[in-house]
Structure 1
Amino acid sequence: MTAGANNLLAASDVETVFERLREAMPGRTKGAKGPKEQPDPFRSCISCMLSAQSLDRNTAAASDALFALATTPEEMLALDDAAIAAAIRPAGLYNMKTRNIRKFCEALIGEHGGVVPDTRERLLSLPGIGRKCADIVMSFTFDADVIAVDTHVHRVCNRIGITDAKTADKTAGQLEQRAPEWAHRDGHFWLIQLGKRICVARSPKCEICPVSDPCLWYAARQKEAKT
């Protein structure tokens, strides 16, 4: 293992990490659906917006309730704020999310004819859509070769040393530059499974981790144990 600048793995070790993950973790499944299993780009965007600071089960409940009322931007704008807020209450921050949903729908109709764009730049131009949401929609809904960064991916990448960033957006930027191109398609799926199964937030299972030997966090932990 060799370290690059600022507590980053060298490029050769980053390649090794992704090669190991490709062997050990499942990749993109055929016909992967949009965020939170939504069937179209519009509902994928809305559900992703609702997921901010919300548990998966609460996001699902809010999404189901809202989409029982409206499934298009036009139908959504026909609802009043009270109806939207009541439906999405389980996801929390419902007043702010209601405003974002309305602004998103207005911009989607006004600027894109009601059709969700399929590029990061244009997705980011829409109210309520940040880098994480844009990349998740691109990856899951539009089948783009993008490594979307959620909580698990952010933790894993910075713990291993693939990236060295304080925020998920900065992790996404570094990851886009440092991950080998061949890993961009399935990298999100490999990293998220590693984060859920092994490299968990508390008490990571380093003894069974396929990338423990190149991992900078594990190396530091081992060094501390010897002192």
Structure 2
Amino acid sequence: MVSTSVNRTAATRAAASRGTAVRGKGQSSAPPDRARVRQARAIAKALAELYPDAHCELNFSNPLELLVATILSAQCTDQRVNMVTPALFAKYRSAADYAAADRAELEKLIASTGFYRNKTAAIIGMAQALCERFGGEVPDRLDDLVTLPGVGRKTANVVLGTAFGIPGITVDTHVLRLAKRFGWTTSNDPVVVEQEIAALIPREEWTALSHRMIWHGRRVCHARKPACGACGLARLCPSYGIGPTDPVEAAKLVKTGPVDALR
């Protein structure tokens, strides 16, 4: 299922000052060597060829809907979230609606996404903060987004890149795993990983790269047993061989079907 597009006129407004990756504590400011940059950009190009249509799988029609859907997607498939949000978005149309929501009613609507009590608290708290500090509108600055309850850098970068067209690197479990396998990082700290990927890949590619890495992680480069022998990145990946290299055996591991249903 393809997400609904939103007005992207904000994409060009002071983009250089928003959604930027930050340097992790103790990280060197020295740029990566040219060989690492060439390798990373070759992988990014190959991913673009493998997944030219990669995009966010959450359905939404405005930044608030995407923000709520992204909060719901924690420990839940996008497919399940997309089953829940039509009724949710029909009932709650503004930040004020969520801020004044009856907790029990909201919990019931989102129960099937899991961890519904925590998610309900995060959504109501987030909406109250929007009303109190941002006029009920979702801000288009990372520094503002991460001050909202339930919103970390990962969620903020999803909203910036997908709803506002402002480049951001979404370091979820797939992006973290693939970045380590590609040799782009050795860290487990998402902020450090974000900074290290940003040093290798041009800013304008950050959002699309995140989607492509997520798609590849869900389909081919699995956590426990990657399908190395069926991977389009085999010749470029320094971790080739950690999974089956026999093409027939590896092909059996490749997940197909709607990407939003894969984890």
| TM-score under structure 1 length normalisation | 0.81
For the residues of structure 2 that align with 1:162 and 1:84, how far apart are their CA atoms? 41
In the alignment, which of 43, 48, 60 is matched to residue 22 of structure 1? 48
Q: State the number of aligned residues.
A: 210
State the partner residue of 1:70: 92
Aligned mates of 1:221, 1:47 — CA distance in 2: 33
Return the offset for 1:38. Answer: 0.7
Q: Where in structure 2 are the equivalents of 1:187-202 lying within 5 Å? A: 187-202=209-224
Q: How does 1:38-117 map to 2 (within 5 A)?
A: 38-117=60-139
2:183 matched to 1:161? yes
Question: Partner residue of 1:37?
Answer: 59
1:131 to 153, 165, 187: 153
Partner amino acid for 1:71?
R
Deviation at 1:205, TM superposition (A): 2.2
CA distance in 2, matches of 1:75, 1:182: 35
Deviations along 1:79-118, one digit per CA (max 9) or x if unpaired, are 2111111111111111111111111111101110011011
Question: What stretches of structure 2 of length at least 5 have no aligned partner?
Answer: 1-34, 245-263
Whole-Å separation in 2 of the counterparts to 1:142 and 1:16:
27
Q: 1:82 to 1:199 in 2, by over 3 A?
A: same
Distance 1:134 1:123 in 2: 6
Structure 1 gap ranges (5+): 1-8, 223-227
In structure 2, what is the Cα distance between the partners aligned to 1:38 and 1:220? 37
Q: Which of 225, 228, 242 pairs up with 1:203? A: 225
Q: Which TM-score applies when normalising by structure 2?
A: 0.71
Question: Does the Cα contact within 8 Å between 2:228 and 2:241 map onto a contact in 1?
Answer: no
In the other structure, the counterpart of 1:4 is: none
Which whole-Å CA distance do the structure 2 matches of 1:179 and 1:164 have between them? 17
Change (3 A) 1:27 1:184: farther
Distance across 2 between alignment mates of 1:21 and 1:94: 35
Describe the superposition over 1:119-172 as per-residue Cα deviations: whole angstroms up to 9, x where unpaired.
211111111111111111111111122232233222222222122222444422
Q: 1:22 to 1:79 in 2, by over 3 A?
A: closer
Identify the residue that residue 38 of structure 2 maps to in structure 1: 12
Contact 1:138 1:146 in 2 (8 A): yes
2:57–2:78 contact (8 Å) kept in structure 1 = no
Larger fraction in helix: 1
